[in-house]
């Protein structure tokens, strides 16, 4: 997978807007810029949010995110064509599923690798499913604690080693943990990049960067100096385009510049790279981006913890005294208006439990709600 370091991922997200021509243009731009990989997102709104989620603040302003996601849903053939286009240009095709339906559709495309987004790092069933494929995995670790990362890696490794997953057993599939700040845009000084070698050592794993900051090179280059095996950055055709992430993405020229400078930095000693960046950005700013190396929720993402991450929500009104069964709840992102529920690892444990009181559709299900 990563035949050269760092492995550069052009995150296209949903910038294509469902337009096959625009998707092709984005893929060609990524190839021309020198990326190793293009990544998209396989969207089904009901796998991500409840319709009552309401407005969500994104770089382009407050939007009805559930309805926006509904408008971005595509048939599997759309992603099949993207994969064919990427591979014809020598790029790895990477995609992010957000639930078991999108995961099944992705698996049918026979991908070489899969990416799990930061909010889904605690989605136990999705981790188990994708880990069982026995292919390389990228796991983003924004809006997560060290404990969350440990639990996710234990879930992935356990699924791969399970006798019930023969596809994963005996395969030398890799895992790359992508350090991330889940904010749009993310302040460069919140990355604390000295964390990278610490994460790699603690978990005996490859580490990289998923960068949502606005500067084209500051975080990617310093991350490379600190040992990033992969760098992921959003690519768009124009920041004035209406895509969900276009306003924090890099246009072609800046993305190509990032690739060039990152490649150059990868061949230099760490001290030389840091000195060059200090000459360009100033010692104080570079030191702020390098930080103290501790892993904690960044200030810009703290308010999202427990809300951007997944939890268990009622998908319909549940009356008091009902018995919880499959189909009555789902593992979703909470966002700002609804109440968070139990962690996804409780999904199987609450089946058959009696509800103490009525739970409105969309609200999280907690231990206080069940007998």
pLDDT score of 1 = 54
Residues in CB range of 178: below 8 A, 6 or more apart: 138, 139, 140, 141, 207, 208, 209, 210, 230, 232
| 42, pLDDT greater than 60 | yes
Q: pLDDT class for 5, splitting at 50, 70, 90?
A: confident
Q: Which two tokens stand for residue 347?
A: 């999904």
For residue 2, being part of any structural domain is answered with no
Give the domain extent around 225. Answer: 7-290
CATH number of the domain at 310, please. Answer: 3.90.1210.10
pLDDT of residue 168: 58
The answer to which of 52-61, 183-192, 193-202 has the lowest mean pLDDT is 52-61
271/325 same-domain check: no
Same domain assignment for residues 25 and 165: yes
Decide which of 251, 266, 290 is a domain's last residue.
290
275 and 194 fall within a common domain: yes
pLDDT tens-digit map of 276-288:
999 999 999 999 9
Say how many Å lie between the first and final Cα of the chain, rounded: 48
Rounded to an integer, what distance in angstroms lies between the CA atom of residue 247 and that of residue 111?
Answer: 29
Q: What is the pLDDT of residue 327?
A: 96
Report the run of H or E that residue 356 belongs to, with start and end: none
**Range list of H helices, the chain:** 20-33, 45-48, 65-71, 76-88, 100-108, 124-131, 146-161, 195-203, 218-225, 252-266, 270-281, 283-290
CB 83 within 8 A of CB 24: no
pLDDT at 171 over 70: no
Residue 187 maps to a domain: yes
Same domain, 279 and 339: no
Domain count, the chain: 2
As a whole number of angstroms, the distance between CA 130 and CA 112 comes to 12
Write the CA distances from 2 to 9, 35, 37, 174, integer angstroms. 11, 12, 10, 9
Q: For residue 295, give the H/E element and its range.
A: none
The owner of tokens 């090179």 is: 217
Domain-terminating residue out of 290, 318, 336: 290
Q: Is residue 36 a part of any domain in this protein? A: yes
Does residue 185 share a domain with residue 119? yes
Radius of gyration of the chain (CA): 20
- pLDDT at residue 107 in the model: 98
Residue 295 lies in a domain: no
Mark whether 361 and 246 lie in a shared domain: no
Asked whether the predicted pLDDT for residue 250 surpasses 60, the reply is yes
Give residue 240's pLDDT: 95
Q: What is the DSSP string of 30-56?
A: HHHHT-SEEEEEE--HHHH--GGG-EE
The first and second tokens of residue 7, run together, are: 């492995």
Residues 29 and 56 in one domain: yes
When the pLDDT of each residue in the chain is averaged and rounded to a whole number, the result is 95
Say if residue 99 is in the same domain as residue 132. Answer: yes
Q: 330 and 253 in one domain? A: no
Task: State the CATH number of the domain containing residue 209.
Answer: 3.20.20.70
pLDDT-based confidence at residue 150 (cuts at 50, 70, 90)? very high
> Taking residues 20-47, what's their average pLDDT?
98
Q: Are residues 210 and 83 located together in one domain of the fold?
A: yes
Is the model's pTM score more than 0.85? Answer: yes
From the list 97, 88, 79, the residue with the least C-alpha distance to 30 is 88
Instruction: Please report the pLDDT score of residue 4 as a whole number.
Output: 59
Predicted confidence (pLDDT) per residue in 316-350, tens digit: 999 999 999 999 999 999 999 999 999 999 999 99
130 within domain boundaries: yes
Task: Among 233, 256, 290, give the residue marking a domain's end.
Answer: 290
DSSP 90-112: TPEEEEEE-SHHHHHHHHHT--S
pLDDT at 57 over 60: yes
Q: Do 319 and 242 fall within a single domain?
A: no
Q: Is 300 part of any domain?
A: no
pLDDT given for residue 84 in this prediction: 98
Residues 220 and 364 in one domain: no
169: pLDDT strictly greater than 60: no
Q: Percentage of the chain surpassing pLDDT 70?
A: 97
Domain annotation covers residue 115: yes
Say how far apart CA 29 and CA 224 lie, in whole Å.
22
Look at residue 297 and tell me if it is in a domain: no
- Please list the residues that pair with 13 across neighbouring strands: 40
């Amino acid at each position: 997978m990563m035949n050269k370091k760092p492995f550069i991922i052009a995150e296209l997200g949903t910038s294509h807007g469902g337009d096959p021509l625009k998707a092709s243009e984005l893929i060609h731009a990524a190839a021309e810029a020198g990326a190793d990989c293009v990544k998209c997102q396989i969207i089904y709104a009901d796998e991500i949010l409840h319709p009552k989620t309401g407005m969500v603040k994104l770089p382009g302003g407050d939007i009805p995110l559930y309805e926006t996601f509904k408008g971005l849903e595509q048939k599997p053939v759309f992603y099949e064509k993207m994969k064919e286009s990427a591979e014809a240009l020598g790029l790895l095709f990477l995609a992010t599923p957000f639930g078991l339906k999108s995961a099944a559709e992705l698996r049918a495309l026979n991908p070489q690798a899969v990416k799990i987004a930061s909010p889904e790092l605690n989605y136990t069933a999705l981790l188990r499913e994708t880990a069982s494929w026995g292919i390389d995995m990228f796991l983003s670790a924004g809006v997560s604690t060290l404990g969350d990362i440990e639990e996710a890696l234990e879930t992935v490794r356990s699924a791969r080693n399970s006798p019930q997953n023969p596809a994963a057993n005996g395969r030398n599939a890799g895992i790359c943990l992508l350090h991330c700040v889940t904010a749009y845009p993310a302040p460069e000084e919140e990355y604390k990049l000295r964390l990278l070698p610490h994460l790699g050592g603690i978990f005996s794993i490859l580490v990289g960067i998923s960068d949502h900051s606005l500067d084209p090179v500051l975080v990617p280059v310093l991350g490379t100096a600190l040992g990033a095996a992969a760098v992921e950055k959003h690519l768009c055709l124009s920041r004035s385009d209406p895509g969900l992430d276009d306003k924090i993405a890099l246009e072609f020229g800046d993305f190509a510049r990032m690739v060039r400078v990152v490649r150059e930095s990868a061949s230099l000693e760490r001290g030389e790279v840091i000195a060059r960046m200090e000459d360009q950005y100033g010692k104080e700013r570079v030191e702020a981006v390098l930080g103290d190396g501790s892993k904690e929720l960044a200030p810009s993402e703290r308010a999202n913890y427990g809300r951007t991450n997944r939890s268990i929500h009622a998908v319909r009104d549940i009356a008091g005294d009902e018995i919880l069964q499959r189909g009555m709840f789902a593992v979703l992102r909470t966002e700002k208006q609804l109440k968070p529920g139990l962690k996804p690892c409780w999904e199987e444990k609450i089946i058959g439990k009696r509800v103490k009181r009525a739970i409105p559709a969309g609200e999280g299900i907690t231990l206080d709600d069940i007998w």
